Amino acid sequence: MEWGDSARLFMNNIEVLTSIKAKENIWIVGGYIRDLLLNKISEDMDFVTDGNTQKIAQMFAKETKGKFIVLDDFNKIYRVIIKGKTYDFSKMQGKNIIDDLSRRDFAINAMAIQIQYTGYLPLNRRRASRIQNTADKNIIDPFKGQGDIKNKVIRCIEEKNFVDDPLRVLRAYRFAGQLKFNIEPKTDRFIRKYSKQLKKISAERIYYELNLIMELNDTHSTILSMYKSGILDKILPELIKTKHTARCYYPKMGLLGHCFDSLMVFEKFYKNNFKSIFPKFNNKIMLHLNDNISKTVKRKTILKYAVLLHDIGKPGSAKRIDDRLRFFGHEDIGSKIIENIGKRLRFSNDEINYLKKLIQNHMRLGNLTSAKEVTDKATWRFFKDLGDDGIDQIILSICDAYTYPPSKTRTLHKLVGNKLLSKYIFRKNKVLPEKLLDGFEIMKILKIEQGPKVGSILKKLEEAQVTKKVKTKDEAVRFIKSIVKTK
């Protein structure tokens, strides 16, 4: 939706509110005003009322044909969804709107406009600049949020607001990353002081904020800042443990530095649409990464977790063998750790399984670089086990390799990755051929019952198809019969 359409939709809905508000006072608050001053139209809006909040929200939903949802009946918080956009209504906290704003997280989010002043809101960018460049008298701004926007600063309103909701520790970094603002020193001290209180916050809320951070264009810088302030070890202590491993390879920060660098490399490639790494497939890869891995989260978001945490099993597997530090089995250990992290932070089952699969298999592409060629059979095994997630696995492996200086290893990772993708994208029907027989047909032909044996025969048949030993259904029948006879 373009600026004009979005603004018109907003103004139409504001007119509805104006017509139904009667004796109630209604204010637009928070992010919409912040974004307005940044010359943006926010997709969502928040309202505060000093009257019957539920009634106003229900009337608004009825007039706009929106969907009314109760978010928190006890605290009087309601939501109306119209064409995918959310309008949240909450009961005013305190004696007046100033009291209400004082309880919010940061000054940039603690501004309000009373509903009758919406004539000053934009229908286009020219009108928006009017508010952006002047402190409009109709913006209620008791904590100088407009000044903070001008100076690009994240500043808390008062210390007790971190006590009331320690999640604001994470929100500070999320807003700083989204807006490219700096956290002012006093707020930073409060963040460090109250970071331990994150343990009081529900895992679901932490998961939500973490995902927003992972959606940033520069997650790497935000994660690094969180590490320096001591927040990251309250959320991902397993990752911090990698700092003390492999100092011989990574003197500054151990494996932790390598994990940070891997994320930085991913974001560098993503910013360039992977043109430098996958010149023939970059558009397909970008579309793939912007698909959802679960109901609400994109692949690229969860892939960032995998890139950041791919070596998380190395501290538990590190052994010195023949004067070399080795990490045999770190994929298995890492897979178990990532499952524990996923469950603790309330990731969905689909997200946990995806992360486990990528961590478990993140050495496979590297192992293929030692082969003379990438055969159809090797490609079949790779994508048979990984499916479409194999694309993500290739990206992860190459990001891992590109944390090191230019070398033959890097070149081989890129070469093998592109060969795998070429076979999978351009010759998928050959490396993953359509089954000539299914499990039920095998059971009927061989007169065997359902069980692991059927799966084993299916796998051997598929491999025979890939290697061209079997091409027709009749050949497939003869092949499975020969398997049984030779046993």
Whether residues 342 and 457 share a domain: the answer is: no
pLDDT in tens, 52-71: 899 989 988 988 889 999 99
> Per-residue confidence at 25, pLDDT binned at 50, 70, 90?
confident
Q: What percent of the chain has pLDDT over 70?
A: 90
C-alpha–C-alpha distance, residues 312 and 319, integer Å = 15
> What's the pLDDT at 79?
93
Helix 389-401 / helix 299-309 crossing angle, nearest 10 deg: 40
End-to-end CA, the chain = 64
Whether residues 315 and 374 share a domain: the answer is: yes
Q: Which residue has the tokens 């990528």?
A: 358
> Per-residue confidence at 22, pLDDT binned at 50, 70, 90?
low
Written as one string, the DSSP assignment of 366-415 is HHHTTSSS--HHHHHHHHHHHTTHHHHHHHHHHHHHTTSPS-HHHHHHHH
Whether residues 425 and 302 share a domain: the answer is: yes
Burial 90-113 (b: 16+ CB within 10 A, else e): bbbeeeebeebbbebbbbbbbbbb
Burial 197-236 (b: 16+ CB within 10 A, else e): bbeebeeebbbbbbbbbbbbeebbbbbbbbbebebbbbbb
Q: Given a cut of 50, is residue 1 above it in pLDDT? A: no
pLDDT in tens, 306-322: 999 999 999 998 888 88
Whether residues 209 and 253 share a domain: the answer is: no
C-alpha–C-alpha distance, residues 155 and 153, integer Å = 6
Q: Given a cut of 80, is residue 136 above it in pLDDT? A: no
Whether residues 277 and 417 share a domain: the answer is: yes
Query: What would the mean pLDDT of 120-124 be, rounded to a whole number?
Result: 45
Q: Which of 54, 49, 47, 51 is nearest to 14 (CA)?
A: 47
Q: Which of 191, 179, 171 is nearest to 150 (CA)?
A: 179
Query: What would the mean pLDDT of 31-42 be, rounded to a whole number?
Result: 86
Q: Is 336 helix (H, G, I), strand (E, B) or coil?
A: helix
Phi, psi of 167 (to 5 degrees): -60, -20
> What's the pLDDT at 467?
81
pLDDT in tens, 259-307: 999 999 999 999 999 999 999 999 999 999 999 998 889 999 999 999 9
Domain boundary among 150, 177, 207: 150
> What's the pLDDT at 11?
63
Q: Which residue has the higher pLDDT, 475 or 126?
A: 475
> What's the pLDDT at 267?
98
Q: What percent of the chain has pLDDT over 90?
A: 59
Query: What would the mean pLDDT of 137-162 be, rounded to a whole number?
Result: 93
Report CA-CA distances (Å) from 155 to 149, 161, 341, 347, 410: 10, 12, 31, 31, 43
> What's the pLDDT at 457?
87
| Helical segments of 91-134, H only | 97-102, 125-132
> What's the pLDDT at 127?
47
Whether residues 341 and 213 share a domain: the answer is: no
C-alpha–C-alpha distance, residues 55 and 441, integer Å = 62
Whether residues 23 and 108 share a domain: the answer is: yes
> Per-residue confidence at 105, pLDDT binned at 50, 70, 90?
very high
> How does the average pLDDT of the chain come out, rounded?
88
- The residue segments making up the domain with residue 480 are 439-485
Domain boundary among 235, 262, 295: 235
Query: What would the mean pLDDT of 324-340 be, rounded to a whole number?
Result: 92
Query: Which tokens in the block code for residue 338?
Result: 């990532």
pLDDT in tens, 434-448: 887 888 888 888 888
Domain boundary among 186, 205, 235: 235
Whether residues 339 and 360 share a domain: the answer is: yes
pLDDT in tens, 71-95: 988 889 999 998 888 899 999 999 9
Whether residues 423 and 383 share a domain: the answer is: yes
Handedness of CA 463, 467, 471, 474 (dihedral sign): negative
Q: Which of 73-82, 186-195, 338-347 shows the lowest per-residue confidence on average (mean pLDDT)?
A: 73-82
Whether residues 98 and 27 share a domain: the answer is: yes
Whether residues 130 and 216 share a domain: the answer is: no
Do residues 350 and 293 lie in contact, with contact meaning Cβ atoms separated by under 8 Å? yes
Handedness of CA 141, 142, 146, 148 (dihedral sign): negative
C-alpha–C-alpha distance, residues 49 and 93, integer Å = 9
> Per-residue confidence at 470, pLDDT binned at 50, 70, 90?
confident
Helix 439-446 / helix 473-485 crossing angle, nearest 10 deg: 60
CATH number at residue 129: 3.30.460.10
Q: Given a cut of 70, is residue 206 above it in pLDDT? A: yes
Q: Is 175 helix (H, G, I), strand (E, B) or coil?
A: helix
How many domains does the structure of the chain reveal?
A: 4
Handedness of CA 289, 291, 297, 302 (dihedral sign): negative
Radius of gyration of the chain (CA): 28
pLDDT in tens, 376-420: 889 988 998 999 999 999 999 999 999 988 899 999 999 999 999
Q: Which of 422, 426, 425, 429 is nearest to 471 (CA)?
A: 429
> Per-residue confidence at 213, pLDDT binned at 50, 70, 90?
very high
For the chain, give the longest Cα–Cα distance. 89
> What's the pLDDT at 236?
96
> Per-residue confidence at 124, pLDDT binned at 50, 70, 90?
very low
Whether residues 87 and 220 share a domain: the answer is: no
Strands of 67-72's sheet, edge to edge? Answer: 67-72, 77-82, 85-91, 45-49, 26-29, 112-114
CATH number at residue 162: 1.10.110.30
> What's the pLDDT at 221?
97
